[in-house]
A and B are shown apart, each in its own frame.
Chain A
Amino acid sequence: MLKFVLSRFLQGLLVLLAIYALTFVLVALTPGSPFSSERAIRPEILAQIESFYGFDKPPLERFWTSLTNAIQGEFGPSAVYANRSVTDIIGEAFPVSIQLGAISLLVALGIGIPAGILAAVKRNTWLDYLPMSASMVGICLPTFVLGPILVLIFGIILQTLPVSGWFGPEYMILPAATLGLFYAAYFARLTRGGMLEMLNQDFVRTARAKGVPESTIIWKHCLKGGLIPAITYLGPATAGIISGSFVVETIFQIPGLGQWFVQAALNRDDFLILGLTVLFASLIVVMNLLVDIIQVALNPRLKYEK
Chain B
Amino acid sequence: MSRSADIVAGAEQRLAAAPVPEEFEKGTSLWEDAWHRLQRNRLAMISLFVFSAIVLFCVIGPFLSPYDAEAQDLLKGAQGPSAEHWFGTDTLGRDLMVRTMEGGRISLLVGLIATLVALAIGVVYGATAGYLGGKVDATMMRIVDTLYALPFTIFVILLMVAFGRSLWLIFVAIGAVEWLSMARIVRAGVIGLKKQEFVEAAVSLGYSHTRIIVRHLIPNVLGPVIVIATLTVPAVMLLEAFLSFLGLGVQPPNASWGVLINEGQQNMEIFPWLLMFPAFFFALTLFTLNFLGDGLRDALDPKSAKD
- A residues adjacent to B (C-beta < 8 A): 11, 15, 19, 22-23, 26-27, 29-31, 123, 136-137, 139-142, 144-145, 147-149, 151-152, 156, 186, 189-190, 192-193, 196, 229, 233, 235-236, 239-240, 242-243, 246-247, 250-251, 261-262, 265-266, 268, 273, 277, 280-281, 284-285, 288
Contact partners of A23 in chain B: CB under 8 A: 158
Q: Are B149 and A142 in contact (CB under 8 A)?
A: no
Contact partners of B149 in chain A: CB under 8 A: 15, 235, 239, 284-285, 288
Contact partners of B272 in chain A: CB under 8 A: 152
Contact partners of B1 in chain A: CB under 8 A: 142, 240, 243
Please tell me which stretch of B90-98, B215-223, B275-283 contacts chain A, meaning at least 4 of its Cβ atoms lie within 8 angstroms of it: B275-283
Q: Are A265 and B161 in contact (CB under 8 A)?
A: yes
Query: Residue A251 contacts which of B6, B150, B265 (CB distance < 8 angstroms)?
Result: B265
Query: Is B107 in the interface zone, CB < 8 Å from A?
Result: no
Q: Are A189 and B262 in contact (CB under 8 A)?
A: no
- Residues in B1-47 with C-beta less than 8 Å from chain A: 1-3, 5-6, 9-10
Encode contact with A along B186-224: 1 for CB under 8 Å, 0 otherwise. 000000000000000000000000000000000000000
Query: Is B82 in the interface zone, CB < 8 Å from A?
Result: no
Query: Residue B10 contacts which of A149, A193, A250, A261 (CB distance < 8 angstroms)?
Result: A193
Query: Residue A145 contacts which of B151, B154, B279 (CB distance < 8 angstroms)?
Result: B279
Query: Besides the contacts A142-B238, A145-B261, A251-B265, what 14 more A-B pairs have beta carbons closer than 8 Å?
Result: A19-B150, A31-B164, A140-B287, A144-B258, A145-B279, A152-B268, A190-B6, A193-B6, A239-B152, A246-B246, A262-B247, A268-B161, A281-B151, A285-B149
Query: Is B55 in the interface zone, CB < 8 Å from A?
Result: no
Q: Which 7 A-B pairs have the closest CB atoms?
A: A243-B153, A148-B265, A140-B286, A30-B162, A140-B287, A144-B245, A26-B158
Within the complex, the shortest CB–CB distance from A20 to chain B, in Å, comes to 12
Query: Is B242 in the interface zone, CB < 8 Å from A?
Result: yes
Query: Is B290 in the interface zone, CB < 8 Å from A?
Result: yes
Query: Is B169 in the interface zone, CB < 8 Å from A?
Result: no
For the complex, count residues of B whose C-beta is within 8 A of A: 49
Q: Are B242 and A243 in contact (CB under 8 A)?
A: yes
Q: Are B161 and A243 in contact (CB under 8 A)?
A: no
Query: Is B157 in the interface zone, CB < 8 Å from A?
Result: yes
Query: Is B269 in the interface zone, CB < 8 Å from A?
Result: yes
Provide the bound-state CA to CA distance between A232 and B151, in Å. 16
Knowing A148-B268, A148-B279 touch, does A142 contact B5 (C-beta < 8 A)? no
Query: Residue B148 contacts which of A144, A236, A251 (CB distance < 8 angstroms)?
Result: A236
Provide the bound-state CA to CA distance between A19 and B146, in Å. 11
Q: Are B6 and A229 in contact (CB under 8 A)?
A: yes
Q: Are A15 and B261 in contact (CB under 8 A)?
A: no
Contact partners of A147 in chain B: CB under 8 A: 265
Nearest-neighbor residue (CB-CB) of B278 within chain A? A145
Nearest-neighbor residue (CB-CB) of B269 within chain A? A156
Contact partners of B283 in chain A: CB under 8 A: 140-141, 145
> Could you list 28 examples of A-B contacts with CB < 8 Å?
A22-B155, A23-B158, A26-B155, A26-B161, A27-B162, A29-B163, A31-B164, A139-B3, A139-B286, A140-B287, A142-B286, A144-B241, A144-B265, A156-B269, A186-B6, A229-B9, A233-B6, A239-B153, A240-B1, A243-B151, A250-B246, A262-B157, A262-B246, A265-B161, A266-B247, A280-B151, A281-B154, A288-B149
Query: Is B84 in the interface zone, CB < 8 Å from A?
Result: no
Q: Are A30 and B161 in contact (CB under 8 A)?
A: yes
Q: Are B6 and A142 in contact (CB under 8 A)?
A: no
Nearest-neighbor residue (CB-CB) of B262 within chain A? A144
Nearest-neighbor residue (CB-CB) of B288 within chain A? A140
Provide the bound-state CA to CA distance between A64 and B213, in Å. 44
Q: Are A233 and B161 in contact (CB under 8 A)?
A: no
Query: Residue A148 contacts which of B161, B164, B258, B275 (CB distance < 8 angstroms)?
Result: B275
Provide the bound-state CA to CA distance between A30 and B262, in Å. 26
Query: Is B122 in the interface zone, CB < 8 Å from A?
Result: no
Contact partners of B248 in chain A: CB under 8 A: 262, 265-266
Query: Is B59 in the interface zone, CB < 8 Å from A?
Result: no
Contact partners of A136 in chain B: CB under 8 A: 287, 290-291
Within the complex, the shortest CB–CB distance from B240 to chain A, in Å, comes to 11
Provide the bound-state CA to CA distance between A161 and B234, in Å. 32
Provide the bound-state CA to CA distance between A285 and B307, in Å. 32
Knowing A145-B279, A147-B265, A251-B265 touch, does A15 contact B146 (C-beta < 8 A)? yes
Provide the bound-state CA to CA distance between A39 and B248, in Å. 24
Provide the bound-state CA to CA distance between A123 and B306, in Å. 12
Contact partners of B242 in chain A: CB under 8 A: 142, 144, 243, 247
Contact partners of A261 in chain B: CB under 8 A: 154, 157
Within the complex, the shortest CB–CB distance from A258 to chain B, in Å, comes to 10
Knowing A145-B279, A243-B151 touch, does A273 contact B9 (C-beta < 8 A)? no
Query: Is B264 in the interface zone, CB < 8 Å from A?
Result: yes
Contact partners of B264 in chain A: CB under 8 A: 148
Provide the bound-state CA to CA distance between A174 and B287, in Å. 23
